[in-house]
């Protein structure tokens, strides 16, 4: 029997396995990105950076609430200039390992996305991921850009014009019709879509003091509790567009990764599972996915992709 | 068992260590290893990491250095403080003579370790460093646990005039088979880690970093690819010199 092949192609770029470090988890330094790559990730995403340095919210910023995490870190980042330096260092460390680097960006304005994308592109990451779905960044009507098809499309168009790298647009689950947003960003030149960002915002209240625990009061909910929603979003998006989808949301084991791929994902993001299983989770899930494929007779990841779509 | 959501405890007892350092003894217990830390929350103020001075009862020594610790020092006996944890990898006590080196508030986790080592019958010598005699903290705790305490003050107001690292070198000379455990300023820890490497002494070093999640996901406590909150806060000499 042939050993199953875990490798996938994302926008023509080779990933040794479909497991991608999701943005916002451990991606703060070149050393940590290298470590996650050494722990078995197929690709790694840096923490989102914006135009200027940002301290983020005071603590508490992240809580393990029992069925996953809730966070309001507040997009703390060193700003695009310093981030470009980190990304260059990360790229040099990742190149010999054959692990692609995804640079995540955000901005407060549509034009700002273009400026950050240009700066970050100088570090030659393999992809740019456009984070239009962080609940901390709002367009003019007090919503993330991902909440409106026109805003999402406008940001995509600006980034598309600014760089020649493959552009991934990260969508929010907090919309009535995620497929419509996906079509809008695809039509403006998105090369891939990642879905989903955190769900919510949610809130956890300390009943002894009667106060919300997060300093920001509310935060994005992640982890196993949101997986069924993520799987449905990936299913909807991959039906609506032709570009590849990175499925993110509550994936904690090899079977979860297979489920995401069956929903239509080309690659699978891992975030909160790092809390439960440590950075070693990547090699562990890759091993589990391999075993799952062997058991079910799949020899390539593509054989599982979109299986849920067959009527 | 780790408590992951902030949990309210009452302050049973307060004790002033120095004009700016106060020890908080709470009305509950955790099960922790010396060197592990907890996140301490004051609603609507902030949440910060602190090493445990003891786990049963929960004991914290907090220096007044900023807005959060200022708020903590306003609290009185009977008031509440919220704690989650314990988190991180603590010290691994070895069955050989111990040299403990604490710089400033670095004495806190070492006081917990000293008690554990003494309970295992280990001989413990402690080098404690501070700017002046008034800034030396937890001395009575070490003495009560049965440790030989060797203070070092920069102004010479008590004990050796100079640094705790000088005293540590002398103690290692006297106990060539000792293990070294240290907590304090980074420059001090790096110097001690080099000393350990030169002398072939096993060393364990508790590092400090800005922490946000405490859970090993946010990356804010990155230490050359290591996470102080999850891989540490206690690291080996090799990790300290390699990071």
Tokens found for residue B148: 């030989």
Record: contact B217-A278, CB cut-off 8 A? no
Q: Check pLDDT > 80 for residue B88.
A: yes
| Interface confidence: ipTM more than 0.90 | yes
The pLDDT, as a whole number, for residue A147 is: 87
Q: Check pLDDT > 60 for residue B17.
A: yes
Interface-testing mutation among B224, B225, B226, with chain A (most A C-beta atoms within 10 A): B225
Condensed to tens digits (0 to 9), the pLDDT of residues B158-197 reads 999 999 999 999 999 999 999 999 999 999 999 999 999 9
The answer to whether residues B88 and B35 touch, using CB atoms and an 8 Å cutoff, is yes
The answer to whether residues A170 and A48 touch, using CB atoms and an 8 Å cutoff, is no
The pLDDT, as a whole number, for residue B136 is: 93
The pLDDT, as a whole number, for residue A24 is: 95
**How far is the C-alpha of B38 from the C-alpha of A105, rounded, in Å?**
33
The pLDDT, as a whole number, for residue A135 is: 67
Respond yes or no: is residue A134 known to be catalytic.
yes
**How far is the C-alpha of B76 from the C-alpha of A152, rounded, in Å?**
52
Q: Which of A11, A39, A49, A134 is catalytic?
A: A134
Record: contact B39-A60, CB cut-off 8 A? yes
Interface-testing mutation among A60, A69, A202, with chain B (most B C-beta atoms within 10 A): A60
Q: Between the CA atoms of A175, A178, A184 and A187, what dihedral angle is there, to the nearest 10 degrees? A: 160
The pLDDT, as a whole number, for residue A66 is: 94
Record: contact B213-A209, CB cut-off 8 A? no
pTM metric for this prediction: 0.95
By Cβ distance, the residue of B6, B213, B222 closest to A61 is B213
**Residue B8 burial by Cβ neighbours in a 10 Å radius (0-12, 13-18, 19+):** middle
Could you give the angle at the alpha carbon of B26 between the alpha carbons of B22 and B28, nearest 5°? 155
Condensed to tens digits (0 to 9), the pLDDT of residues B196-216 reads 999 999 999 999 998 999 999
Q: Check pLDDT > 60 for residue B16.
A: yes
The average pLDDT across B113-141 equals 95
- Between the alpha carbon of residue B137 and those of residues B132, B182, B189, the distances in Å are 11, 15, 19
The average pLDDT across B16-23 equals 94
The pLDDT, as a whole number, for residue B106 is: 93
Record: contact A59-B220, CB cut-off 8 A? no
The pLDDT, as a whole number, for residue A141 is: 56
Record: contact A272-B217, CB cut-off 8 A? yes
Q: How far is B143 from chain A (nearest CA, A)?
A: 36
Q: What is the pLDDT along chain A (311 residues), one digit of tens a residue?
A: 679 999 999 999 999 999 999 999 999 999 999 999 999 999 999 999 999 999 999 999 999 999 999 999 999 999 999 999 999 999 999 999 999 999 999 999 999 999 999 999 999 999 999 999 876 665 555 678 888 999 999 999 999 999 999 999 999 999 999 999 999 999 999 999 999 999 999 999 999 999 999 999 999 999 999 999 999 999 999 999 999 999 999 999 999 999 999 999 999 999 999 999 999 999 999 999 999 999 999 999 999 999 999 76
Give chain B positions within 8 Å (CB) of A215. 46-47
Condensed to tens digits (0 to 9), the pLDDT of residues B67-79 reads 999 999 999 999 9
The pLDDT, as a whole number, for residue B210 is: 86
């Amino acid at each position: 029997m042939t050993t199953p092949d875990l490798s996938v192609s994302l926008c023509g770029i080779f990933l040794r396995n479909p497991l991608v470090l999701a943005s916002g988890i451990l991606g703060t330094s070149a050393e940590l990105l290298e470590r996650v790559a050494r722990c078995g990730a197929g690709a790694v995403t840096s923490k989102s950076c914006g135009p200027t340095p940002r301290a983020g919210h005071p603590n508490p910023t992240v809580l393990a609430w029992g069925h996953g995490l809730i966070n309001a870190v507040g997009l703390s980042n060193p700003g695009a200039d310093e981030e470009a330096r980190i990304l260059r260092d990360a790229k040099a460390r990742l190149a010999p390992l054959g692990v692609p680097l995804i640079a995540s960006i955000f901005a407060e304005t549509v034009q700002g996305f273009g400026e950050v994308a240009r700066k970050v592109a100088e570090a030659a990451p393999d992809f740019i991921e456009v984070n239009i779905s962080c609940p901390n960044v709002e367009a003019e009507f007090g919503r993330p850009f991902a909440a409106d098809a026109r805003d999402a499309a406008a940001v995509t168009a600006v980034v598309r014009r600014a760089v020649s790298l493959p552009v991934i647009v990260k969508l929010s689950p907090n919309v009535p019709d995620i497929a419509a947003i996906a079509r809008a960003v695809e039509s403006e030149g998105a090369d891939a879509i990642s879905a989903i960002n955190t769900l919510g915002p949610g809130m956890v209240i300390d009943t002894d003091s009667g106060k919300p625990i997060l300093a920001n009061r509310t935060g994005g909910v992640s982890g196993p509790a949101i997986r069924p929603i993520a799987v449905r979003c990936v299913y909807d998006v991959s039906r609506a567009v032709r570009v590849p989808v990175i499925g993110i949301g509550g994936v904690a084991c090899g079977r979860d990764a297979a489920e995401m791929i069956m929903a239509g994902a080309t690659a699978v993001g891992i975030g909160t599972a790092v809390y439960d299983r440590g950075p070693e989770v990547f090699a562990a899930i890759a091993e589990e996915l391999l075993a799952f494929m062997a058991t079910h007779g799949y020899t390539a990841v593509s054989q599982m992709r979109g299986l849920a779509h067959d009527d | 068992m780790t408590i992951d959501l902030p949990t309210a405890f009452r302050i049973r007892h307060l004790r002033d260590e120095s004009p700016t350092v106060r020890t908080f003894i709470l009305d509950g217990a955790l099960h922790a290893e010396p060197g592990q830390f907890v996140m301490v929350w004051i609603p609507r103020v902030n949440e910060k990491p602190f090493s445990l001075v003891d786990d049963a009862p929960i004991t914290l020594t907090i220096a007044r250095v900023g807005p959060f610790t200022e708020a903590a020092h306003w609290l009185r006996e009977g008031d509440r403080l919220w704690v989650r944890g314990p988190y991180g990898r603590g010290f691994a006590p070895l069955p050989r003579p111990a040299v403990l080196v604490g710089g400033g508030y670095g004495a806190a986790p070492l006081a917990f370790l000293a008690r554990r080592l003494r309970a295992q019958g280990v001989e413990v010598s402690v080098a404690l460093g501070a700017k002046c005699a008034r800034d030396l903290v937890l001395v009575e705790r070490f003495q009560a646990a049965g440790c030989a305490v060797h203070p070092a003050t920069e102004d010479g107001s008590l004990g050796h005039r100079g640094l705790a690292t000088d005293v540590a070198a002398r103690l290692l000379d006297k106990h060539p088979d000792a293990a070294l455990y240290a907590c304090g300023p980074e420059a001090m820890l790096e110097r001690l880690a080099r000393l350990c490497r030169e002398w072939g002494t096993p060393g364990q070093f508790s590092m400090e970093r800005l922490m946000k999640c405490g859970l090993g996901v946010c990356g804010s406590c990155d230490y050359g690819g290591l996470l102080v909150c999850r891989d540490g806060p206690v690291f080996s000499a090799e990790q300290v010199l390699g990071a």
